[in-house]
Amino acid sequence: MGDIELVLVQLFVIIALAQVAKMVCTWIKVPTVIGEILVGILIVNTFIYDFIDLETNRDFFDVLKELGVIFLLFTVGLETPFSTLRKVGKTALLVATLGVILPFIAGFVFMTFMGYGELESLFVGAAMVATSVGITARVIKDLDLTQSIESRVIIGAAVIDDVMGMIVLAIVVGVAGGGSLDIIHVAVVSLEAVAFVLAVIFIGSLLLPKVVEKRQKKRLEQTCLTDKKKNGFNPLPLALIVCFALSALSAYLDLAAIIGAFLAGMAFGEFRDRFPCEQKIEPITEFLSPFFFIFVGIGVVLDAFSDVLLIAVILTILAIITKFIGCGLGSLKLGGKSAAIIGVGMIPRGEVGLIVASLGLSMFIVEEPIYNAVVFMCMATTLIAPALLVMTFKMKNKKQDKAPRFKTQEPQ
Amino acid sequence: MGDIELVLVQLFVIIALAQVAKMVCTWIKVPTVIGEILVGILIVNTFIYDFIDLETNRDFFDVLKELGVIFLLFTVGLETPFSTLRKVGKTALLVATLGVILPFIAGFVFMTFMGYGELESLFVGAAMVATSVGITARVIKDLDLTQSIESRVIIGAAVIDDVMGMIVLAIVVGVAGGGSLDIIHVAVVSLEAVAFVLAVIFIGSLLLPKVVEKRQKKRLEQTCLTDKKKNGFNPLPLALIVCFALSALSAYLDLAAIIGAFLAGMAFGEFRDRFPCEQKIEPITEFLSPFFFIFVGIGVVLDAFSDVLLIAVILTILAIITKFIGCGLGSLKLGGKSAAIIGVGMIPRGEVGLIVASLGLSMFIVEEPIYNAVVFMCMATTLIAPALLVMTFKMKNKKQDKAPRFKTQEPQ
């Protein structure tokens, strides 16, 4: 026992503070995720962190944080069946591509201009690439807009952009490690990533639904049992197994674990009529996902930023502008207001940028001050996006009464 | 990231194995909890433990295990409103008292007879005292018999017996530490424990329901809103906050954390009509509670037992017989078959016995071989009880078609 007492106190304090913050956010009509991040910032920058001795169980909470974002992306995936994602595929690809190239170039050029080394500049550029879909997904979920076309493009682009971000990271790490650009390694990683995503989508969202449908039909013909206990298949263990398996696999392939979780959710989204696992997964997500955002906030130690404040602010502005322009341009054909929503929705960088920065730090390529600046950029973009997103959605809805919605069609 | 990849692989392997075991158990009609414990024993005694490198994240899973049993007891508490527990109070008290005294004496006398020291014998006696309600609760839940009178007596007696077990432990630790029986310390701990349980029951299950009912009535009079979004209060955060707060408090008072979780569940059970949090808590319990049983199994390293097999077997037999007779005698007025069910239901020792044994080991009073024997006793009673419980329930139901059920009455 022993340790569990401390964990329970920490869980109590963290959840209670987050709940207060969420109630305040609901009251002043701000996405509750901002409250959760601010609670994290509050905890780490005040006596609370030491008071509840969070350092002792930091490892445990770091895992809880990762599980939180994995369950969140699984839930988001559940609400994004491939059949509907397919319709936004081309736009999402364009949005992702432009949204990767522009920030990367901006980060690299700015850092080189400021006199930093080529490798360090490359790392900063790479850290500016990948959108953290978690924040945006949560805001969209809070606004109940997961079915809107903008939401689908953002989620789709973020998935593609995560894969691209990993490819950029692999290239940068390859350059830093080998000293030169190893084309074969880059090619292998790129192929692996693309093949993984396509294979999972093909098997999980196209092949399996057909197989299950056939089996289901056969079974229904053979049996007339309507007894709920006999037919009532509990989908939770299967959902957990598939979610963890695909997350582990995608982490193993040096993609982010959340990509696997999202794809697993997507596959289950195809079966939502038959195995409705949302009701089982949703409470687990509700329990765990706040820990992701609270611990994103706990990453922000305010007094470490004073030295690089100017660089941090400029990087943040560049990150916001380049992503907004890149992704906005990619989705301009959906109309100016939708393009603005998509541009804003892609702004938050969050954990992926942090992973890149940490890796650079551990390879002794990125120095501590620049690491802090990148952390600031990730946090700032993460903090600013929800408010902007709510604003742009409101601007759009002024004209129309409601955002245009895709009809949710079941695949044949 | 990094570590999360390994955690995901471990989660996948553990949940997948447990699911296979549960399917086999369902098939051969054995409580699924046995499958989960056996999966743990399988993992730790084969290459699997090293293969998934479980040692690395053992701390994380140990916390997950504790959270699993806390959510399980909260769920059990939810289904045990005080208003119905009250009816079995006297019987439960008698069952608990006799079920504590007999095993303690048997353990102490046997160990002294075998030539072990007084203090070591005291610790073994203390480890034989407390029933692990987790296993029995799960079996009862699996059999869908939480409403039966036997179930209520068992759960009630196990709660009382946990408190008594902690008092016995406090006495033993006091004797071991001070060298003599410190009556004041014993008295303080005893008073604390009893006061905590009574205070929580009074506030949570008697006072609060009345206050809330009054407020609810007032509110309903003031407003006519039937909009679900406005009225639909999400009970999960509140349930989590109360559950963790009471668990931490009861751990802080040197009672087991699960006592607090159970009492918190009991309090929420009074509000189940107004704040139905079962649907939100149940999936979290379903996700986490298997880790408790799997890691109880992972505590069983088979080759460590060969030296003390005879002592371990005798201790196990004594633990089974004394608990069966003690608790059976205490509930004899409910009829022989109900008494048999209650006697059997109180047999499993599980985690509480393990805590006592670990404490004795860390105080250098209990030697490694005897520690192993106590672990064996806890495991064996845990493994044997579910099968016996199913058997005794079946024996009883042969006569009657259904176990007698309490009417679930709402308190005034």
pTM of the shown model = 0.79
What's the token pair of residue B144? 């869908």
Tell the burial category of B147 from Cβ atoms under 10 Å away from its Cβ (0-12, 13-18, 19+).
middle
The answer to whether the beta carbons of residues B73 and B289 sit under 8 Å apart is no
Phi, psi for residue B393 in degrees, rounded to 5? -60, -40
Cα gap B376→B357, rounded to integer Å? 11
Phi, psi for residue B224 in degrees, rounded to 5? -115, 10
pLDDT in tens, A305-314: 677 889 999 9
Say if residue A215's pLDDT is above 80. no
Greater confidence (A316 vs A217) lies with A316
Angle, alpha carbons A48-A49-A50 (nearest 5°): 90
User: Cβ B1–A57 below 8 Å, yes or no?
Assistant: no
Domains of chain B: residue spans and CATH: 55-399 (1.20.1530.20)
Cα gap A17→A23, rounded to integer Å? 10
Q: Is A148 helix (H, G, I), strand (E, B) or coil?
A: strand
Q: Lowest mean pLDDT: which of A90-94, B304-308, B314-318?
A: B304-308
Any alpha helices (H) in B299-367, and if so which ranges?
A: 309-330, 336-345, 350-362
Q: Which residues of B touch A7 (CB under 8 A)?
A: 63, 66-67
Q: Is B155 helix (H, G, I), strand (E, B) or coil?
A: helix
In total, the C-beta contacts within 8 angstroms joining chain A to chain B are 126
pLDDT in tens, A228-250: 444 457 889 999 999 999 999 98
Q: Is A143 helix (H, G, I), strand (E, B) or coil?
A: coil
Give residue B79's pLDDT band: very low, low, confident or very high (50, 70, 90): confident
pLDDT given for residue A281 in this prediction:
92
pLDDT given for residue B411 in this prediction:
39
User: pLDDT > 90: what percent of chain B?
Assistant: 26
What's the token pair of residue B150? 């036997």
Give residue B174's pLDDT band: very low, low, confident or very high (50, 70, 90): low
In sequence order, the 6+-apart residues with CB closer than 8 A to the CB of B198 are none
What's the token pair of residue A412? 């044949």
User: Cβ B248–A355 below 8 Å, yes or no?
Assistant: no
User: Cβ B57–A70 below 8 Å, yes or no?
Assistant: no
Say if residue B13's pLDDT is above 90. yes
Angle, alpha carbons B181-B182-B187 (nearest 5°): 115
Say if residue A366's pLDDT is above 70. yes
Average pLDDT over residues A49-56: 88
Selected residues 14-33 of chain A with any CB under 8 Å from a CB in chain B: 15-16, 18-19, 22
Say if residue B11's pLDDT is above 90. yes
Please measure the distance between the N-terminal and C-terminal CA atoms of chain B and give it in whole angstroms.
53
pLDDT given for residue A30 in this prediction:
67
Sign of the C-alpha dihedral computed for residues B74, B78, B81 and B87 taken in this order? negative
Greater confidence (B224 vs A27) lies with A27
Cα A50 versus chain centre, distance: 29
Average pLDDT over residues B170-191: 67
Closest CA to B166 of B127, B199, B195: B127
Q: Which residues pair with A405 in a beta bridge?
A: A148
What's the token pair of residue A39? 């609670």
Q: Is A276 helix (H, G, I), strand (E, B) or coil?
A: coil
Separation in Å, CA of B4 to nearest CA in chain A: 6
Please measure the distance between the N-terminal and C-terminal CA atoms of chain A and give it in whole angstroms.
53
Average pLDDT over residues B359-378: 81
Say if residue A368's pLDDT is above 60. yes
What's the token pair of residue A205? 């969202």
Q: Lowest mean pLDDT: which of A112-121, A173-182, A357-366, B258-267?
A: A173-182
Average pLDDT over residues B352-366: 76
User: Cβ B1–A62 below 8 Å, yes or no?
Assistant: no
pLDDT in tens, A124-149: 999 998 887 767 777 787 777 777 88
Say if residue B240's pLDDT is above 50. yes
| Mutation for A interface: B19, B53, B63, B280, most A CBs within 10 A | B63
User: Hey, is the C-beta of A257 within 8 angstroms of any chain B C-beta?
Assistant: yes
Cα gap A374→A299, rounded to integer Å? 12
Closest partner residue to B63 (CB to CB) among A18, A60, A283 is A60
Cα B267 versus chain centre, distance: 18
pLDDT given for residue B185 in this prediction:
67
Closest CA to B127 of B166, B158, B155: B166
Closest partner residue to B7 (CB to CB) among A8, A9, A63 is A63
Q: Which residues of A touch B252 (CB under 8 A)?
A: 5, 9
Tell the burial category of B346 from Cβ atoms under 10 Å away from its Cβ (0-12, 13-18, 19+).
buried
Cα dihedral B225, B231, B232, B233, rounded to 10, equals 180
pLDDT given for residue A276 in this prediction:
79
B140 C-beta neighbours (distance < 10 Å), count: 27
Cα gap A220→A260, rounded to integer Å? 32
Average pLDDT over residues B215-219: 70
Give residue B178's pLDDT band: very low, low, confident or very high (50, 70, 90): low
Q: How far is CA A352 from CA A124, A319, B99, B245, in A?
A: 12, 14, 56, 34
pLDDT given for residue B403 in this prediction:
45
Q: Lowest mean pLDDT: which of A346-350, B85-89, B138-142, B237-241?
A: B85-89
What's the token pair of residue B110? 């046997």
Taking CA–CA distances from B245, the nearest residue in chain A reads A12
In sequence order, the 6+-apart residues with CB closer than 8 A to the CB of A331 are A91, A94, A95, A153, A338, A339, A342, A343
pLDDT given for residue B30 in this prediction:
67
In sequence order, the 6+-apart residues with CB closer than 8 A to the CB of B122 are B108, B172, B175, B176
pLDDT given for residue B248 in this prediction:
92
**What is the rounded radius of gyration, in angstroms, for the C-alpha atoms of chain B?**
22
Cα gap A271→B30, rounded to integer Å? 30
Q: Is B345 helix (H, G, I), strand (E, B) or coil?
A: helix
Cα gap A219→A91, rounded to integer Å? 40
Q: Name the region of B115 (left: φ>0; alpha: ψ -120 to 50; beta: rest).
A: left
Cα gap A377→B224, rounded to integer Å? 47
What's the token pair of residue A388? 């902007």
